[in-house]
Amino acid sequence: MAGSRRPFTPLRNLNAKIAAVPMILTVLVVFIGCTLWTVVYSFTSSRSLPTLDFVGMDQYVRLFRTSRWTVSLKNLAIFGVLSLSFSLVLGFILAALMDQKIRFENTFRTIFLYPHALSFIVTGLVWQWILTPAYGVQKVVRDLGFETFNFPILTDGRFTIYAIVIAGLWQGTGLVMALMLAGLRNIDDEIWKAARVDGIPAWKTYLFIIIPMMRPVFITTLVIISATIVKVYDLVVALTNGGPGISSEVPAKYVYDLMFSRGNLGQGLAASTIMLTTVLIILVPWALLEFRPRYRKGEASK
Amino acid sequence: MRYRSVLAALATSTFLFATNPATAADLEVTHWWTSGGEAAAAKVLAESYDKLGGDKWVDGAIAGSGSTARPIIVSRILGGNPMGATQLNTGRDAEDLVKAGLMTDLTELATKEGWADFIRPSKLLDACKYEGKIYCVPVNIHSLQWMWINPNAFKDAGAAVPTNWNEFVAAAPKLKEKGVIPLATGDAWQIDGVFRVLLANLGGKELYLKIVDEKSTEAAGSPEMKAVWQAFANARDLADPGYVGRQWNEATSLVLTGKAGGQIMGDWAQGEFGVAGKVAGTDYDCLPGLGVHPALDTGGDAFYFPKNQNPEITKAQLKLASMLVSKETQVAFNLAKGSLPIRGDVDMQAANACMQKGIKILADSNNVLPSYEQAFSSDTQGQIEDLMTEFFADKSMTVEDAQARYVEIIGEAK
């Protein structure tokens, strides 16, 4: 109840409050301040240098008329949906298999987690070598005798974004597996025993008991993967550099190019504002749902 | 006690910073000349600068092409940590920085030495001017409008060696039959370059100027322009699918090994033929202006001098500026770089057959075109480049659609 709240004591825990000041300032100035700056200047005609010459929605009109930007958004959607679902599913399956008390578990875990130790740039280059027709998979299969084998994933604009998904999955699934494995290890053995006593098949136990119990782990994983998806840039630069043509462009690359190499700050900031809005549109309802105080009743009865 | 010693230490350190060596300055020079021939050319400059005595050239080479280096250079100047001098491309690279007053004004030196009298073509110096003042030093001329062909590839395929673009297109099917790539090209800027050359040399000077100088949407939508787009669509069919992500020098090496028939690439490609020990006229041939209209643009490199707090550095900057335009530096530097000098009054006898062709064409000022860099902002250039690569990669995109979007971009260009 409102009346029985703690008395207002600003000097309580003073040390802790002082210690939190730098972080609070950082959040206010760096995150919120810079975000506001970005949004404000996205309505100006700023070129290499920011100027407060407001042009209304012009930058946004141009943005959505630019086919490179619309292609970027579409690519991000494809990349996002595919890599999110596949890395969760594959990561969980790998973790579940790993959890069967297999031999050499450590070795396997290292192998699967190893790609994550590489940067996206290295990942991109390695996969470029693997997928390039001239000396990659296509050449190997042709050398085996299948002369007409074609594997144009990097040279045909319709497929390149999937090459990026594949490379991203190769790099990211190991981390998801490790997180999931940690989640699985936290499940009490008693639950497995109880399920076995009740004669529930293993897959049903996973689907209806274990996964719901691992909800926090899934949420952590989701947040981590989503962040990497939205900011995907280096992987694309290393693997395809947006090509062929503009077929594998992504929003972050558009922002970078416009702001730094093409000297059109206004346009770059408008693009990043759209990225922010998209994230907020998805994130805010979910966060409200996820973090709403659902134990209010229990607290009141205490 | 402790505070006092800390204070003393702080005072000493500021003192040290305040009294930079007062007589000679270290001039940090950033540039992106990192390939073999380019690095040699940069070394020529560094050595001649050090020989002048006193100030020292501190080399700040940035690996990667201009698109990597430019943002680094610009953000350093904007961030208040300017280098002593920097290379950029002649044109509008530094326009905003000049407008913001971040560059040293060279007008006084230029008037004293009479740059306007010997810099040729005069457009080069115009590109350095803003509101009548001079802010950069052009050091060389590069032209994009060249085509390099391997005559032996054509002879082997039983086709006549082309002397112009149309003959090249006509001979292409025979090359294809032999498994030779007719036109070697590569990543985005090279494709954009192909279009620029087609526009300048097939469209002709008049059309080029209307679009580049006047930004005329009427010209951009004209039937003459459509013919250029059609030629670009032909070029799209002449390239191999492996062009994606190929470097320009890899494409050049396809031509010089006979795996490709030709390449549309600026005169810097000549350095690659030179390094491989090939002889102009027998092993390779050059078609300036695609063998149609002998018109070349005059892009190139220029040095800019960001404003500095330290008067010693400003003095060193002026000294470097004066050295860069001097006769001796111009000859030595341009022979190493494979580019043409910015002065009409120096002796370039040592240049090879293809370079001589270029010098001859540029001697007639009617053949001089403004380069894209001088005419379009990097933003507009980027928009055009995106359109070109999209069109080149997507064979289902029609000439009409592409041209309509081109008109739009030209209309918005400032």
Residue of B383, B386, B387 to mutate, interface with A, max A Cβ within 10 Å: B386
Tell me the range of A6-20, A167-181, B232-246, B355-369 where mean pLDDT is highest. Answer: A167-181
Q: pLDDT above 70 covers what percent of chain A?
A: 95
A127 falls within a domain = yes
User: In 10 A of CB A256, how many CB atoms?
Assistant: 18
| Tokens linked to B189 | 């800027």
Who's near B72: CB < 8 A, 6+ residues apart? B30, B62
Q: Which domains does chain B have, with CATH numbers?
A: 25-141+299-344 (3.40.190.10), 146-297+367-412 (3.40.190.10)
Whether B393 and A244 lie within 8 Å, measured CB to CB: yes
Residue A111 CA, distance from chain mean position:
22
| Tokens linked to A190 | 């008693």
d(CA B162, CA B287): 9
Tell me the range of A162-166, B14-18, B53-57 where mean pLDDT is highest. Answer: A162-166
A vs B, Cβ pairs < 8 A, gives 86
Q: How many domains is chain A partitioned into structurally?
A: 1
Asked whether residue A27 carries a pLDDT value surpassing 70, the answer given is yes
Which position has the token pair 């069967």? A100
Asked whether residue B19 carries a pLDDT value surpassing 50, the answer given is no
Helices H / strands E in chain A, number of each? 16, 0
Is some CB atom of chain A closer than 8 A to the CB atom of B67?
A: yes
Asked whether residue B12 carries a pLDDT value surpassing 70, the answer given is no
Query: What band does B399 get if pLDDT is binned at 50, 70 and 90?
Result: very high
Is some CB atom of chain A closer than 8 A to the CB atom of B412?
A: yes
Q: Closest approach of chain B CAs to the CA of A127, in angstroms?
A: 14
Asked whether residue A302 carries a pLDDT value surpassing 70, the answer given is no
Is some CB atom of chain A closer than 8 A to the CB atom of B401?
A: no
The ipTM, to two decimals, is 0.77
- For chain A, the helix, strand and coil percentages under 3-state DSSP, each to the nearest 5: 70, 0, 30
Whether A245 and B383 lie within 8 Å, measured CB to CB: no
What's residue B262's pLDDT?
93
pLDDT average, residue stretch B220-232: 94
Nearest by CB: A243 against B67, B78, B187:
B187
Q: Which domain holds residue A249?
A: 67-300
The pLDDT mean for chain B works out to: 86
What's residue B22's pLDDT?
44
Query: What band does B278 get if pLDDT is binned at 50, 70 and 90?
Result: confident
Whether A260 and B381 lie within 8 Å, measured CB to CB: no
d(CA B82, CA B314): 12
A26 falls within a domain = no
Per DSSP bridges, beta strands B301-304 and B136-138 are antiparallel
Tell me, what CATH number does A280's domain have? 1.10.3720.10
Is some CB atom of chain A closer than 8 A to the CB atom of B26?
A: no
Query: What band does A166 get if pLDDT is binned at 50, 70 and 90?
Result: very high
Least-confidence region, from A81-90, A196-205, B78-87, B345-354: B345-354
Asked whether residue B275 carries a pLDDT value surpassing 70, the answer given is yes
Q: For A228-283, what is each residue's pLDDT tens digit?
A: 898 899 999 999 888 788 899 999 999 999 988 888 899 999 999 999 998 888 88
A41 falls within a domain = no
Residue of B379, B383, B389 to mutate, interface with A, max A Cβ within 10 Å: B379
The burial of B57, by beta-carbon neighbours within 10 Å (0-12 exposed, 13-18 middle, 19 or more buried), is given as buried
Asked whether residue A110 carries a pLDDT value surpassing 50, the answer given is yes
Query: What band does B15 get if pLDDT is binned at 50, 70 and 90?
Result: very low
pTM: 0.79
A6 falls within a domain = no
A94 falls within a domain = yes
Closest to B228 measured CA to CA, from B203, B210, B205, B209: B203
Nearest by CB: A154 against B244, B377, B408:
B244
Nearest by CB: B393 against A47, A245, A262:
A245
Report chain A residues whose CB lies below 8 A from the CB of B378.
261-263
A93 falls within a domain = yes
Query: What band does B261 get if pLDDT is binned at 50, 70 and 90?
Result: very high
Whether B393 and A267 lie within 8 Å, measured CB to CB: no
A8 falls within a domain = no
Asked whether residue A299 carries a pLDDT value surpassing 60, the answer given is no
pLDDT average, residue stretch A37-64: 90
Asked whether residue B387 carries a pLDDT value surpassing 60, the answer given is yes
d(CA B359, CA B270): 14
Query: What band does A295 get if pLDDT is binned at 50, 70 and 90?
Result: low
A1 falls within a domain = no
Least-confidence region, from A17-21, A47-51, B126-130, B344-348: B344-348
What's residue B128's pLDDT?
87
